[in-house]
């Protein structure tokens, strides 16, 4: 969770690396002003809102904080994302636009790579939501719900329905209901970890 300006800058840098956004250059600045990467705009706004939510939503900063909330909601609706603040660790990479719904009680570690049509939520009116470790890859259409935990270095297959906890790291989880179907070197999937 972002607790200060140093954390904020670190989260932004890790997200930029995960999305493979180049360093600031004159050409890159011109291209991004003509045709911005809307996922990067979303993630920057998410991180700034997290910073202001956790550190600076008092006094005159409250006005900017309210503006950020409005802007974040507008971008979220445009891209089809329902992602609350303070859920994802640094290194988040949302790969495509499209419906993504995340419960506010879920917690996801560093370096999560996620595709469209992913749902991470509670089950049956419960408040508890999934806890995902670091370096988790979530393929398109995966549904992860309930009071469960997913270990570090896990790949979740397309359209998997994950409703129970897993313990073993470096595995691929897939199917309906999900089960371990193999082992994985997560660095082959989440490239910026190399």
Residue 34: pLDDT over 80 = no
pLDDT tens-digit readout, 35-65: 678 999 999 999 999 999 998 777 778 888 9
| Nearest-angstrom CA–CA distance, 4 and 55 | 7
Q: What is the pLDDT of residue 126?
A: 87
In this structure, are residues 185 and 161 in contact, taking their beta carbons and an 8 Å threshold? no
Tell me the two tokens of residue 190: 């989440």
User: Could you give the dihedral angle defined by the CA atoms of residues 58, 43, 91 and 145, in that order, rounded to the nearest 10 degrees?
Assistant: 90
To the nearest 10 degrees (0 to 180), the angle between helices 5-19 and 38-55 is 160
Q: What is the pLDDT of residue 9?
A: 96
Which whole number is the average pLDDT over 1-30? 84
Report the share of the chain in percent with pLDDT over 70.
93
Superfamily for the 5-193 domain: Hexapeptide repeat proteins (2.160.10.10)
> At 28, is the secondary structure helix, strand, or coil?
helix
| Nearest-angstrom CA–CA distance, 54 and 3 | 6
pLDDT band at residue 31, thresholds of 50, 70 and 90? low
> At 158, is the secondary structure helix, strand, or coil?
coil
Residue 102: pLDDT over 80 = yes
| C-alpha 52 chain-centroid distance | 18
Tell me the two tokens of residue 150: 């997913």
Numbers of helices and strands, H then E, in the chain: 4, 14
pTM beyond 0.85, yes or no: yes
């Amino acid at each position: 969770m972002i607790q200060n300006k140093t954390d904020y800058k670190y989260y932004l840098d890790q997200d930029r690396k995960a999305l493979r956004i180049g360093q600031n250059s004159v050409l890159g600045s011109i291209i991004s002003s003509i045709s911005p990467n809307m996922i990067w705009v979303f993630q920057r706004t998410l991180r700034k809102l997290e910073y202001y939510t956790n550190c600076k939503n008092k006094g005159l900063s409250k006005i900017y904080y309210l503006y950020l909330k409005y802007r974040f909601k507008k971008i979220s609706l445009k891209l089809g994302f329902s992602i609350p603040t303070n859920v994802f660790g640094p290194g988040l990479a949302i790969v495509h636009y499209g419906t993504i719904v995340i419960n506010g009680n879920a917690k996801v570690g560093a370096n999560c790579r996620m595709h469209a049509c992913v749902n991470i939520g509670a089950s049956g009116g419960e408040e508890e939501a999934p806890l995902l470790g670091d370096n988790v890859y979530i393929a398109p259409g995966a549904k992860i719900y309930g009071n469960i935990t997913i270990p570090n270095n896990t790949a979740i297959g397309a359209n998997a329905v994950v409703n129970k906890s897993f313990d073993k790291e470096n595995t691929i989880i897939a199917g309906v209901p999900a089960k371990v179907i193999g082992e994985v070197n997560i660095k082959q999937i989440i490239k910026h970890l190399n």
